[in-house]
Amino acid sequence: MSLSLLPLLAASGVASYWPFIVLAASVLFIIIGISVIRWHPFIALILAAILAGVLASLVPESTVGPDGKPVVGSLSDVVGLVTAGLGKTAGGVAISIGLASIIGMALMESGAADKVVRRFLGVFGEQRAGLALLLSTYILSIPIFFDTMFMLMAPLAKALRLRTGKDYLLYVLCICCGGVITHSMTVPHPGPIAMVENLKIDAGVSIYGGLLGGFLPALAGYVIARWMNRRMTVPLRDTPGAPLADLESIVDKPEAQLPSFFASMLPIVLPIVLISFSSFLAILAPAGSDPAAVAPSLVGLLGGTERFQSIRAVIDFIGDKNIALFIGTFLALGVLVRQKGWGKEQLERHISPALETAGIIILITSAGGAFGSMIKNAGVGGAVENIASSLGLSLIVVAYILTLIIRVAQGSATVSMLTASAIVYPMMQGGLPYHPVYIFLAIGFGAFSASWMNDSGFWVVSRLSGLTEREMLRSFTIQLTLVSAIGLGVTLLGSWLLPFA
Peptide bond into 499 cis (omega under 30): no
C-alpha distances out from residue 127 to 35, 122, 123, 133, Å: 42, 11, 11, 12
Give the model's pLDDT for residue 248.
57
Q: What's the rounded Cα separation, in Å, for the pair 332 and 310?
A: 29
Model pTM above 0.95? no
Average pLDDT along the chain: 82
Q: What's the rounded Cα separation, in Å, for the pair 141 and 153?
A: 11
Instruction: Please say whether the beta carbons of 89 and 418 come within 8 A.
Output: yes
pLDDT tens for each residue of 153-195: 777 787 778 777 789 999 999 999 999 999 999 887 888 988 9
Report the 3 state secondary structure along 365-379.
HHHHHHHHHHHHHCC
C-alpha distances out from residue 95 to 63, 71, 188, 390, Å: 30, 31, 10, 42
Report the 3 state secondary structure along 146-187.
HHHHHHHHHHHHHHHHHHHCCCHHHHHHHHHHHHHHHHHHCC
Give the model's pLDDT for residue 114.
78
Q: Highest-confidence range of 94-103, 213-222, 430-439, by mean pLDDT? A: 213-222
Report the 3 state secondary structure along 385-414.
HHHHHHHCCCHHHHHHHHHHHHHHHHCCHH
pLDDT tens for each residue of 276-308: 788 777 767 777 677 777 677 777 777 778 888
Give the model's pLDDT for residue 240.
55
Q: Highest-confidence range of 93-107, 295-309, 336-350, by mean pLDDT? A: 336-350
**409, pLDDT greater than 90:** no
